[in-house]
Structure 1
């Protein structure tokens, strides 16, 4: 026999067609006569009565449990009884034996709600909300763990979630301080192409709220820089109730943090830098637009396409989210920012510099000029040293280079390449340690005006003929830059020199681009002269200037005669 609904329908059909007795219907369908009478009275079967399961082991302790739950009516929220604690007290104080956790848990779940209602405690109820397109957003931070260069590091994920479409922007930073809070907003606004027109919801983050003013309403004392930021971008802030009571007021972003962490950051991502991780996140965000959130008719991308055009436009000027500091440069040409030392150019020793401490980088200014940009270090201690900042000093103290921290970090970062190592070794062999290192320093200074590829090409060309001077490297590096630029211009259809104008390009024969004076001095002068190209220029002459001499002499004589007459 099928379901009770089918049973009732079959009984009613037989009674209607054959007009048999109740006894016959009960015999035919194998049910009691009460069931037949119920089927004839109504086509819908009555609900089954759920039997009340007896709890012989729990019954003696129900009054004790109720007393514990009633005492919770006046207890602090975080110090109320849990089912685990109630079971422990029953065992310790009342010698309860044989009680299972599930039995106590099920009873507590039902009785706690009843006792709270009897005691007049307010029962939280949630009311579904409608969010107009482009009107609201929610912001929050979430903790994430990332393996950076093999080191497990605790980081913080900033999330801005649009309430209508569910579009979310995620950025991972080494800190959740105010500079990261503001940087996250700037990047999120630029990613979505606008600003919500109504408000953005927050909990009471110290990056925005200096003080929560308790009492009716949601008054907050905001930090000055946060007020300036909101004024610049033109949006209002909505602050949720403090503590757990206000968590549901921005449940969208709370869920977005957890969903993204479970689906994209599990297992822990392994990257070389946070910039690499954030690039991956941008790809994941684009893919997530094809996802449909439960209860939404459209995908995230379809709803966001409608919402994008309704956002407030971005201001013309970009807000600098960095925290402005003014540290003094110490004798090691370094500044200390949040317990981490960063190098600056050596000529700033003893001066105070302006620093913009941002979420992922540290920017150092001399007046209005940027003199150093470092990736921000997440650790509380450490050194970030750039070799270029010490080159002027190393000219006078070349012996300090081999064991310096700057050189070690340049090698680790791949900035000091094998080409530099080869040039340094050859230069020290020919010129001695001090002068050879000075030649290397001059080569390193070329990086300020030429690309690394050009300097490397210059080093290779100089080493190929045994010339270990910075001047030869400079000439060849600039020649490489010119040739490369001309070839690129020719390929792109631009003006300027083309590759076909170079003699080697016309003849197809290799050209000796470097002249080694050392090699020429060691060879026969006749062969050296014979190897030089013919000089077709005319011999210099000063005849044109000689014509001016008679005129100058005549002018001097006339002047003397006029003076004697007067």
Structure 2
């Protein structure tokens, strides 16, 4: 058409039709004039090939320094960042403008493409169904999840099948340990309904870091025994080479992003308890597995059958209950009922709990505690275990080493601070111990905390007599109820009447 340049597409159409049509017909089909066709016959190059190469329209700001100064820097330090090279050039040449940053980055990128070092190559693999499962841990601290008002310091154990993409995630509260791996891996295999022939991990570097050689050998033996129990061959990628675990490293990011997006849609990162948060994560993982449902079902027949029962996913140790009413385990003090003082207990160490046994009898389960900052001991305290002793020695509360952990709720701690400000120490301690005793004996811990919050808001001190009457009566004052049982002859008469009616 007049006023428009012929493009490459029209040129190719013309050459195509020119094979079988005349010049004027081919030109008409291509959409230009016969005169243009005669010019094309003289020069068969495409229009894009006739354009002169684009030349620089302004002086090159790096012409004098790139080969003389920048290239030697790149050769001496191949891994240096372009922004660091820019800062060095600005220091050497104050007249150089910062606006050359993008030009410098493109020039360095082109130079490295032609003269740089050889780079590592990732070889994509064909994954055989039922062959490979991978495990790894990822830190979730950046999500800002909190449970019951406290920030949750946790990681995520992540299992994935390389072929079908089946995933399983388990929230763990400790670090990368054998216990976390054993519990998470077995949960994943039992949810999947089978086991792959090979299991790969990232060498459990964090779990090995602070162990001596004997402990590392023991952990290696236990890991190999776990894989053998499930019929899997244990393998590890080379330390520090993350892409060898690439089939799970990249899904780490996708899973964390999915959890982050779900938290944003939820509108809150606060959860009632740990079980609530774990259900939330399980739901997200199940959605991702549903998208790969057909591939997962196709891979399941290639998996190995699971053993008849799970192997132990805990460590076991023994502790001695001292006269302080508890025991210390891994720099954390745990309280237990005082009747256990002097006994040796077996403790099963799980990632998030401690199970206590006296001989072969299960006693109780305690929440796992964490050591404090700077190596200080942590405390897991249940005031119900020591309240009877505190009633006999109320002044022990004043300088108790775990006093802050003794209070079950924040309202109790604030109330004690108010009592200490406005009462003598002995009276304050006795009043606080009575409040804790009331919360325990009358099963009103939450309701009593609400009343204490109300007193704090109104600037009042708690009235023990009013609180005792407010909640359930004293068990000692509960009247005895005598129940008069009916005679059995009355029931026999009813039965005989029913039998006569049926006849």
TM over 0.5: yes
Task: Report the equivalent of 2:223.
Answer: 226
Partners of 1:347 and 1:132 in 2: CA distance: 58
CA contact (8 A) 1:154 1:174 kept: yes
After superposition, residues 87-126 of structure 1 pair within 5 angstroms as 87-95=86-94, 97-98=96-97, 99-116=99-116, 121-126=117-122
Preserved contact between residue 208 and residue 223 of structure 1 (Cα < 8 Å):
no
Query: 1:385 aligns to what?
Result: 381
Name whichever of 341-350 and 374-383 sits farther off. Answer: 374-383
Cα deviation, 1:50-97, whole Å, max 9, x if unaligned, reads: 646576112222212221121135xxxxxx311111111111124461
Are 1:376 and 2:368 counterparts? yes
Matching residue of 1:334: 326
Assess if the C-alpha contact under 8 Å between 2:333 and 2:380 holds in 1.
Answer: yes
Which residue of structure 2 lines up, in the alignment, with residue 71 of structure 1? 76
Q: How many angstroms apart in 2 are the aligned matches of 1:533 and 1:140?
A: 65
Match of 2:200 in 1: 200
CA distance in 2 between partners of 1:442 and 1:277 (Å): 31
Distance of aligned partners of 1:18 and 1:221 in 2 relative to their CA distance in 1, 3 Å threshold: farther
* Structure 2 match to 1:129: 125
TM-score normalised by L of structure 2: 0.68
Aligned to 1:175: 174
Q: Do 1:5 and 1:45's aligned partners in 2 also have CA atoms closer than 8 Å?
A: no
The 8 Å contact of residues 202 and 239 in structure 2, kept in 1 or not, is answered as no
1:56 counterpart (26, 37, 60): 60
Q: RMSD between aligned alpha carbons?
A: 4.7
CA shift for structure 1 position 109 = 1.6
Residue by residue over 1:470-494, the C-alpha shift from the partner in whole angstroms, topping out at 9 and shown as x without a partner, is 6969x9xxxxxxxxxxxxxxxxxxx
Q: Which residue of 2 aligns with 1:5?
A: 9
Measure how far apart 1:141 and its partner are: 1.1
Secondary structure (helix, strand or coil) at the match of 1:282 reads helix
Residue number in structure 2 paired with 1:424: none
Equivalent pairs, count = 415
1:239 Cα shift?
1.9
Q: Does structure 1 conserve the Cα–Cα contact (< 8 Å) formed by 2:229 and 2:307?
A: yes
More deviation in 303-312 or 29-38? 29-38
Alignment of 1:242-253 (within 5 A): 242-243=239-240, 246-253=241-248
Tell me, what secondary structure is at the counterpart of 1:264?
A: helix
Deviation at 1:344, TM superposition (A): 1.9
Aligned to 1:304: 296
Give the whole-Å Cα distance in 1 for the aligned partners of 2:220 and 2:85: 45
Q: Distance in 2 between matches of 1:251 and 1:203?
A: 14
3-state SS of paired residue (1:176)? coil
For residues 359-390 of structure 1, the C-alpha deviation after alignment (integer angstroms, 9 at most, x for no partner) is 11111222222222022235635433335545
Listed as ranges, the matches of 1:330-369 within 5 Å are: 330-369=322-361
Aligned to 2:423: none
SS in 1 for 2:319: coil
1:60 aligns to what SS in structure 2? coil
Find out whether 1:286 has 2:277 as its counterpart: no
Q: Which deviates further from its counterpart, 161-170 or 20-29?
A: 20-29
How many Å apart are 1:164 and its aligned residue? 0.5
- The verdict on how the C-alpha distance between 1:406 and 1:104 changes in structure 2, with shifts beyond 3 A counting, is closer
The structure showing larger relative contact order (alpha-carbon pairs under 8 Å, at least 6 residues apart) is 2
Preserved CA contact (<8 Å) 2:24 2:34 = no
1:204 Cα deviation from its structure 2 partner: 5.0
Q: Is the deviation greater in 91-100 or in 174-183?
A: 91-100
Q: Deviations over 1:372-425 (max 9, x none)?
A: 20222356354333355458868x949799998898428989xxxxxxxxxxxx
CA deviation string 1:216-266 (max 9, x = no partner): xxxx996333233233333222222222xx221111211111111112134
- Deviation readout 1:281-318 (Å, 9 max, x if unpaired): 11112211233xxxxxxxx1111112223222222232
Inter-CA distance 324–47: structure 2 relative to 1 (3 Å threshold): farther
Equivalent of residue 325 in structure 1, options 313, 317, 327:
317
Q: For residues 468 and 65 of structure 1, do their structure 2 counterparts lie closer, same or farther at Cα, with a shift above 3 Å needed?
A: closer
Instruction: Decide which structure has the larger Cα Rg and report it.
Output: 1
TM-score normalised by structure 1 residue count: 0.61
Is 1:28 matched with 2:27? no
2:236 corresponds to 1:239: yes
SS of residue paired to 1:237: strand
Q: Is the 8 A contact 2:159 2:168 kept in 1?
A: yes
**Alpha-carbon distance between aligned partners in 2 of 1:114 and 1:46, rounded to the nearest angstrom:** 25
Counterpart Cα distance in 2 of 1:162 and 1:254: 12
State the distance in 2 between where 1:90 and 1:467 align.
83
CA distance in 1, matches of 2:333, 2:279: 27
Is the Cα–Cα contact under 8 Å of residues 23 and 37 in structure 2 kept in the other structure?
no
Q: Which residue is equivalent to 1:490?
A: none
Structure 1 stretches of 5 or more lacking a match? 74-79, 214-219, 292-299, 414-433, 445-462, 476-513, 517-531, 538-566
